[in-house]
Amino acid sequence: MGKLKGKQYRNLLESMEEELVAMARWAAATGARIVVIFEGRDTAGKGGAIKAVASRINPRQCRTVALTKPDAHEAGQWYFQRYVAHLPSKGEIVLFDRSWYNRAGVEKVMGFADPEEVERFLYEVPTFEKLLIDDGILLFKYWLSCDQEKQEERLAERLDDPLKRWKLSPIDLVARTQYRAYTLAREEMLKATHTAHAPWTIVDFNDQKLGRLTLIRDLLDRLPDTDVEPAEVEFEPLGHEPFEEEFGVLKPIQSFPA
């Protein structure tokens, strides 16, 4: 498939959004707990992919978790502890915008974790994920891939666009010189953590629209049958003319444009 036009993308996404809503309805009806991990290079498109998955689902049911740098208290905890606090309860969906795999990526490459901490993490994480899955959590791990040329293009776009500049951190600017180091770290991570019970799925995000559609289709295809009919709601006529809004204490502000 060539580069998607905007209208074509929206039409394809719209049909999948109906299935995503059905997924959420199924999770609520069955008590399923769903965790989706989004990992990848800076600018790969994690935020846009998460938005595409979550935009039509009730935010009270579907949460995005994007943790900041651990504070002093969190740094003294068991490494997985602050992530465990964000795992879903029955009927919930949690989307991790980066996850515990920070330790095998940015923390390793940028020197925030020492080699012993990284080695211990890679040893422990398959067991940690097995515990989650054995307890009934449905875990999906996606790595979003993009070439360095595309990464540079997107970083420059963030720099030039005031509405996107907040996405550009000092770490991003340093990390752009470590493309090869991130590749080696990723390969080491995949070798240790691509398991039968918690496999990784790599999605090409050089074309972000196509990448989102590919990821969502894969996610939906790997779920059990999610066909749960919506609850029927009776919507009877009011029996009178609709009332207009009335205000006594305060009035609405003047409508835009003033």
- pLDDT value, residue 98: 96
Cα(157)–Cα(175) distance, integer angstroms: 16
Question: Which domains, and CATH codes, for the chain?
Answer: 6-222 (3.40.50.300)
Total-model pTM = 0.91
Contacts of 79 (CB under 8 A, 6+ apart): 100, 103, 117, 121, 124
Confidence at residue 37, expressed as pLDDT on a 0 to 100 scale: 98
Angle between helices 6-30 and 208-222 (to 10 degrees): 30
Q: What is the pLDDT of residue 2?
A: 62
pLDDT at 1: 54
Check residue 106 and give its pLDDT: 94
Instruction: Kindly report the number of other CB atoms within 10 A of residue 20's CB atom.
Output: 22
Low-confidence residues of the chain: pLDDT under 70 = 1-2, 258
Alpha carbon 3 to its chain's center: 23
Question: Residue 202 has what DSSP assignment?
Answer: E
What contacts 34, CB < 8 A, 6 or more positions away?
23, 27, 88, 92, 93, 94, 137, 138, 140
Secondary structure class of 29 (helix, strand, coil): helix
pLDDT digits (tens, 9 = 90+) for 109-147: 999 999 999 999 999 999 999 999 999 999 999 999 999
- What pLDDT, on a 0 to 100 scale, did the predictor assign at position 190? 98
| Predicted local distance difference test score (pLDDT) of residue 143 | 98
